[in-house]
Structure 1
Amino acid sequence: MIYLDNAATTKPSKEALQSFNQVSETLFYNTASIHTGGRESARLLEAARGQILKELGMINHSLIFTSGATESNNIILRGMIERKLKFGKTVLVSELEHPSVVNVIEQYKDQINLKFIKTTQQGVVDLDDLKAKLDDDVILVSIMALNNIIGSVQPIEEIGRILKYYNKVYFHVDATQAVGKVKLNYSDVDALTLSAHKFYGVKGAGALIVKDMNVIDAILLGGGHEKGKRSGTVNLPAIVAMAKALRISNENLEEKNDRLEKLNDLVREHFNTYKKMKIQKKHSPYFINLSFVGAKGEIVVNALSELGLYVSTTSACTSKSNELNETLFAIGNRADVIEGSIRISFSQSTASEDVNALIKGLDTVYNQLGDILHEV
């Protein structure tokens, strides 16, 4: 089996699993306990918190641990909309957002004025459109740092500079796909969300990072864990594993990405002349989005699965939806291109042998589909 669906979830690294197991065996205590074991666990928790903030360049922010980005997105978006409705009603969201952002915000559609920021054909937020939509009624802007369908990196630092002139605006960034793939400047971001399992940590651990903890209302009441914002015994083994996974994924990141660039280019160069295949523009080296025009993406995914190659259609969180993918639609693709699209996503451990097998498998399926396909 060759796994190339890393945007959905990554395999935990050996180092992260070792940390998880070691903490589970030796520091299984409740971090709120006042005995020696509890205090040692609490110190380790704070060390992990500090390490994650340092790795992300956000040492002036605060962090609470959650179960993952979906929970973090729900906490911050629900909380900020409800808190800021008395100051304005307009919420700006990119067209590229994950369902855990869009679906939350749409719950308030009768109370807010929801506007979507246009996307350029390169898959990047249109900054001119953002500026045109900004006014004194805007209370929240939410932008995904790295798109989960085509891998386009958004100009987070530039957006942060623009939003500085609008005091009412709260700037949220979903960095779920960006962390461990690209280093960005998040210093002007008010809130950032992430999930450990996207960068070789274990499932069930995530974080909500905020500039001002005072704006976050308590979401789980109980024993006062996580600065009183999210009570409940913390998942210390998974949190320590997350900190370890982040540090390791960031090590020599430029070299790792250069290697993946070459592997990504191998696929693109091989299929560049295939007239019945559409390959989306390259952004992050971790992503290839291509379409078998005239077929359904699900058919291609299943056919590749039979060959031992695991990829996906769009994102795992929307792959069972019958709607056209919003990202591919926003950048101007035809319906048949979108319907035939698959997402291939590499990890830092993806090898040249994996990519050679992928190319062979894609060729096999392309030939099998034959007359079903048509030119772009």
Structure 2
Amino acid sequence: MVVPILLAITGAPWEAEVVRRAERAPGLRVVRRCVDMADVLAAAGSGQARAVLLAEDLPRLTADAVAALQARRIAVIALIDPAGPPDGPGGMPGSEDRLSRMGIERILPADAGPEDLGRAITDAVDAGPPVITSHFAGGFVPTPGPVAAAEPTRYDELSGTGRLIAVWGPTGAPGRSTVAVGLATELAAAGVSTLLADADVYGGTVAQLLGMLDETSGLAAAARSAGSGSLDVPVLARQARQVDPHLLVLTGLSRADRWTELRPSAIEAVWSTARSLAPCTIVDVGFCLESDEEISFDTLAPRRNGATLVTLEAADEIIVVGSADPVGLTRLIRALHDLRSVVPSATTRAVVNRVRSGSLGSSPGDAAAEALGRYAGVKPSALLPFDQAACDAALSHGRSLAEAAKSSRLRKGLQQLASNVTTDLLT
């Protein structure tokens, strides 16, 4: 069998020699030479190749581009300069490490002979797309002293795998961000090192709720690092902001029109790295589960809801938030059914927010629990009371409920929810 391949080695000093060796390699046939990653993707879309041999410094080489090629079942093999330094400048990861983080498993020195090239490429084609596995989990040890201290945070590996918990809910602002922030701050107050991330592509508010400036998105910066293959635990921690001895925050997008910065493959890499940073990662995601972009456009087009979908698929548990009124409960019940169709294996925990007397009668908690049991087949894990005064106090000071309204009923409800999550973390 002869494997048709693409060559993308433009600009490398050893380009001519690699081309000659590739053309002599047994079992290979060079069908096209490409000048950059855009040219590679265009050629791959035509279906004329089964593998691509590229240089480590190819322009526009990102994890998204590698994932797009692998989605078309095209093997990706990278060549690195054997004379290059083992590590990048300033302690940055070396070429091989950076390419591996992009999802490239087959990496060869540029001086590999024709037989080695032929064998590596045919083996990669026969093996198929790589299987993505989770990283080993660790935890961060907070820096003593004030949050603004200049000393870097230390990191110690912990046994086990860090958990990823997504906080999601239907449209209508049922209080997803309030629950996400409250849960994260309560876990941190209980001594659980926690990473809170804002991945809402329609209007993230985590930074505002905690009184943080949001001109620069920590999550977008982490996604860019993941795309370039330079994301690791220390880099992710630097892009997050420490607001509590046990709490790091990845701020979200300051404007909804920046959603293209959160590519699904990059977000998936961020969550994988986050499992090595903290025992628990809480992610606030957008409401929409639609994936019509895949139908309306080419499959390589960006997907606005891709960050939400990949987060829900990667999550160990999904907390589904709805509001305690007839409209909110109807949306919550439908949302639970929709979620099961999108992520059938999801472990969910239903939370009813803003429980108050009024439209649900004199026993709103019982009414909400009965409706969820009858129409969704679930019991609410938490019934959070409506406490506007506590929320106003926290928002006006840019603080969590644990700081601004310690004795509020809502804070006590979130404490109980965090206690349940902590119990699951320890089992």
The TM-score with structure 2 as length reference comes to 0.27
Tell me which structure has the larger Cα radius of gyration: 2
Q: TM-score, normalised by structure 1?
A: 0.30
| Structure of greater relative contact order (alpha carbons < 8 Å, 6+ residues apart) | 1
